[in-house]
């Protein structure tokens, strides 16, 4: 970092300026980290929304396939959750094998 004329004349001011610059860099890093965490939280919310939406759609399909019975919504929801979880586990295992180069 080039030393300015005022830094030569006042070394204490130069030290303070460098210290302030360091504080600004740390603050910038903290702000960037905060934005990254917020993005991750938002992504998680969207993922959770999509997951629940898949379950809702599958539960509706089950309800229709079983003749639209009354009072079976919890059973259909639990069945849909189990099916979606199995699908997601299978997909996760396939992706892991692909990443390892097995598939």
Distance CA 48, CA 42 (A): 10
Residue pLDDT, tens place only, 47-86: 888 899 999 999 999 999 999 999 999 999 999 999 999 9
Give the chain's end-to-end CA distance (angstroms, integer): 52
Residues with Cβ < 8 Å from 13, sequence gap 6 or more?
A: 6, 7
Q: Two tokens at 72?
A: 């079976």
- pTM beyond 0.85, yes or no: no
CA dist., res. 51 & res. 4, Å (int)? 58
Which of 2-11, 19-28, 82-91 shows the lowest per-residue confidence on average (mean pLDDT)? 2-11
- Reference 59, options 87, 84, 89; nearest CA is 84
Q: Give the span between the Cα atoms of 96 and 86, in whole angstroms.
A: 15
**Helix, strand, or coil here: 61?**
helix
Residue with tokens 């929801």: 77
**11 pLDDT tier (thresholds 50, 70, 90):** low
């Amino acid at each position: 970092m080039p030393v300015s004329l005022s830094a030569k004349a006042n070394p204490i001011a130069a030290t303070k300026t460098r210290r302030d610059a360091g504080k600004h860099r740390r603050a910038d890093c903290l702000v960037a980290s905060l934005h990254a965490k917020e993005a991750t939280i938002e992504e998680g919310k969207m993922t959770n929304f999509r997951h629940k939406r898949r379950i809702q759609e599958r539960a509706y399909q089950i309800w229709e396939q079983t003749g639209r019975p009354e009072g079976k919504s919890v059973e259909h929801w639990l069945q849909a959750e189990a099916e979606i979880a199995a699908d997601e586990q299978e997909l996760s295992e396939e992706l892991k094998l692909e990443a390892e180069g097995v598939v």
